[in-house]
Structure 1
Amino acid sequence: MLPPERLPASGHGRRGPASGSGQAGRRGQPGFPAPPGCGKGPDGRRIAGGILQIDDNRREQRVLAWSIGITTILAAIGIACGLFANSSSILFDGLYSLIDAAMTALALGVSVLLSRGSSRHFQFGFWHLEPMLVLLNSVVLALSCGYAFLGALNDLFRAGRGTDFGPGLLYVVGAGLAEFSLWLAMRRQARRLGSDLIALDARAWLISGLLSIGLGLSFGLGLALHGTEWAGLIPYLDPAILAVMALLLLPVPLAACWRAGKDILEIAPSDLDERVRAIAQGIAERHGFHDFTSYVAKTGRARFVDITFLAGPELGSRPLGYFDGIRGEIAAALEARPPSHWLNIEFTSERRWL
């Protein structure tokens, strides 16, 4: 087995001096098995898995930049059409898109920082910025939905709003087709690159598309009611559909807030915790370790894993390669790939270090 890559310590384990004859391995140094043909270039970056990670970050940045441009154009058209048709719902759709463009620009900045890896002051990288941005984005969108709902109620209580439904219907049909197409494209890219930032942008496109569907239905109904006995309801259609859509969309950013909050608080994801425990249990049984402890955390797309094995005297003296081999087993089982995975695999003969 080739020697493991050495990366900075994740900081998610217990720190203490190495103690006991059974203490093997470099405490705090996460190990990854180097794939065949994998090495490091002059800049110290991995030239196999690392290049793949760098390429993914560059693709993510291109996708986000492309999304910002389209969102800004649609936002400008929406705001202009909303003012022309005197439609508060279209105006909200345009402002919602403008806010989303600003949030996506911040996401692009975070993506650039993530591609740089760690720095002198941020030695564990910039992974923590990803859930913080998701939380900020979600809070802003949730507040936007709340403001739209209150504005719609205000219009309803003031005898509605006179809206020109013809231009509005043309806008929402065209915008809806564009938004759902972009949602599908962004969702595919998010799954391909494993990017929470692009996934967040995809959800925003989905929300915009759903808004357009609601607006299209209300505007079509408004045109159909002209000249009928129900024409008196027409002024109430625009604020009513805006109120309904705001309430229906509100759970989407609130759910994203909850997920981002769990990452920021480093609440251990149950699926990763169970997987790590199962892998560690198998290692302990195969290699005769008496016990183990494991700790996991998730921050954005980064995964932190710390496992400490308790060895008995029967294990005897083993070469470092033996323990590196165990690290390699665990890394392979977790499909861990730097820099988004941090592993601390430690060994001790004293229970106090568990």
Structure 2
Amino acid sequence: MIKFSALGGLFFAVMGLAWGFMAKSSMILFDGLYSLISLFLSILALWVTNYIDKADFKRFPFGKVMLEPLAVAFKSIVLIVMCTFTLYDAVTEIVAGGHVVDTSMAVAYSIVSSVGCIFVYVYMHQKGKKLCSDILKAESNQWFMDSILSVAVLIGFIISAVISTTSLAGLTRYVDPTMVIISSLIFIKIPTTALFKSFREIVSGSADDNINNEIYTIVKDIEKEYNFADSITRVSKIGRELRIEIDFVFNEQSSLNELGQMDEVREQVYRNMTDIKLKKWLNVNFTGDRKWAI
């Protein structure tokens, strides 16, 4: 999947940069530059995915899943920086008086780009949902932004072509940099959201409320079933993995006393969470002193 995204990025990067220079369009160059940067980031994501999947328990006893949110964070920062610089350049260009674009070439590029990006986005989005991978979701979000950009470019250049036939033809000099400004402002939002989300995972923040509430309900039902004095549940999401730690606190009324029963409780907890489509790192502990659970 990442290879497919990388090949798509290479195609649109070369096409966008070449077509942008020929059409003298900052907007198309922005699209090509975005695709080029996305290509390098897709290669990074491919390496990270392959590296995570390699078993190396001796060196990484807790796994390497932390690399996934780190890769997403790095990718988000690069895209934010790129959008910031292109925004500045577009504002500077408008102040300088704008420039003329070959509208017919720009429209032709926009049609090809829009169809291609939408196809790749739909394909990546469907695969990302099935595999529950944040890296694939980040890739599909990236193609979603590219699709928006391509459609926006198409609309913008059609408007420019219409304006060029009227008495307002002089305004067409400002259409291209204006589209860059609008696209940059829109594009910054998605990587910024992804950056905050990945940072939350890096620092082992709590999982989404829906997941937390489901697991909390499962644990409390078992607590009641076996008459435990209390239970402490911690759940965090890191990449495609859930880190779950559950501590049951015994008292004199608890009906669980043997090691085999403890394993049965662990199996019961795990079985009740099968509808959560994420890899699970599950620890279920039992103690008679609450201080070991907090």
CA shift digits 1:2-39 (9 cap, x unpaired): xxxxxxxxxxxxxxxxxxxxxxxxxxxxxxxxxxxxxx
**Number of residue pairs matched?**
292
1:172 aligns with 2:110: yes
> What amino acid maps onto 1:212 in structure 2?
S
1:225 aligns with 2:150: no
The corresponding residue for 2:220 is 281
Aligned ranges for residues 30-69 of structure 1 at < 5 Å?
63-69=1-7
CA shift digits 1:162-189 (9 cap, x unpaired): 2111111111110111101111111000
The corresponding residue for 2:9 is 71
CA distance in 2, matches of 1:108, 1:166: 37
The Cα of 1:115 is off from its aligned counterpart by 1.3
> What amino acid maps onto 1:92 in structure 2?
F
Aligned ranges for residues 249-264 of structure 1 at < 5 Å?
249-264=187-202
The Cα of 1:316 is off from its aligned counterpart by 6.8
Q: Work out whether residues 131 and 300 of structure 1, in 8 Å CA contact, stay in contact via their aligned partners in 2.
A: yes
1:340 aligns with 2:283: no
Cα gap change, 1:81 to 1:199, in 2 (>3 Å): same
Q: Work out whether residues 117 and 126 of structure 1, in 8 Å CA contact, stay in contact via their aligned partners in 2.
A: no
Q: Work out whether residues 131 and 299 of structure 1, in 8 Å CA contact, stay in contact via their aligned partners in 2.
A: yes
Q: Work out whether residues 226 and 255 of structure 2, in 8 Å CA contact, stay in contact via their aligned partners in 1.
A: no
Q: Work out whether residues 176 and 212 of structure 1, in 8 Å CA contact, stay in contact via their aligned partners in 2.
A: yes
Task: Pick one of 160, 165, 176 that aligns with 1:238.
Answer: 176
Deviates most, 120-129 or 330-339: 330-339
**Taking structure 2 as the reference length, what is the TM-score of the superposition?**
0.94
Q: SS of the residue aligned with 1:177?
A: helix
CA distance in 2, matches of 1:199, 1:286: 39
1:299 aligns with 2:238: yes
CA distance in 2, matches of 1:340, 1:330: 14
Aligned ranges for residues 86-125 of structure 1 at < 5 Å?
86-125=24-63
CA distance in 2, matches of 1:197, 1:339: 14
The Cα of 1:338 is off from its aligned counterpart by 11
The Cα of 1:341 is off from its aligned counterpart by 1.0
The corresponding residue for 1:26 is none
CA distance in 2, matches of 1:116, 1:307: 28
CA distance in 1, matches of 2:191, 2:55: 28
CA distance in 2, matches of 1:190, 1:353: 39
Cα gap change, 1:315 to 1:224, in 2 (>3 Å): closer
CA distance in 1, matches of 2:278, 2:129: 18
The Cα of 1:326 is off from its aligned counterpart by 0.4
Task: Pick one of 46, 49, 69 that aligns with 1:131.
Answer: 69
CA distance in 2, matches of 1:317, 1:256: 44
Q: SS of the residue aligned with 2:63?
A: coil
The Cα of 1:228 is off from its aligned counterpart by 2.1
The Cα of 1:317 is off from its aligned counterpart by 7.4
CA shift digits 1:165-222 (9 cap, x unpaired): 1111111110111101111111000011111111111111111111111111121122
CA distance in 2, matches of 1:223, 1:352: 72
The corresponding residue for 2:153 is 215
CA distance in 1, matches of 2:102, 2:60: 54
> What amino acid maps onto 2:203 in structure 1?
L
CA distance in 1, matches of 2:269, 2:16: 52
The corresponding residue for 2:22 is 84
Q: SS of the residue aligned with 1:334?
A: coil
The Cα of 1:106 is off from its aligned counterpart by 0.7
The Cα of 1:295 is off from its aligned counterpart by 1.4
**Is there any run of 5+ residues in structure 1 with no aligned partner, and where?**
1-62
Task: Pick one of 304, 309, 313 that aligns with 2:248.
Answer: 309
1:203 aligns with 2:135: no
Q: SS of the residue aligned with 2:232?
A: strand
The corresponding residue for 2:130 is 192
CA distance in 2, matches of 1:164, 1:306: 61
Aligned CA-pair RMSD:
1.8
More helix by share: 2
Q: Work out whether residues 117 and 339 of structure 1, in 8 Å CA contact, stay in contact via their aligned partners in 2.
A: no
Higher relative contact order (CA 8 A, sep 6+): 1
Task: Pick one of 189, 194, 204 that aligns with 1:266.
Answer: 204
The corresponding residue for 2:119 is 181
> What amino acid maps onto 2:63 in structure 1?
G
Q: Work out whether residues 289 and 311 of structure 1, in 8 Å CA contact, stay in contact via their aligned partners in 2.
A: yes
> What amino acid maps onto 2:183 in structure 1?
M
> What amino acid maps onto 1:343 in structure 2?
L
**Is there any run of 5+ residues in structure 2 with no aligned partner, and where?**
none
Q: Work out whether residues 65 and 108 of structure 1, in 8 Å CA contact, stay in contact via their aligned partners in 2.
A: yes
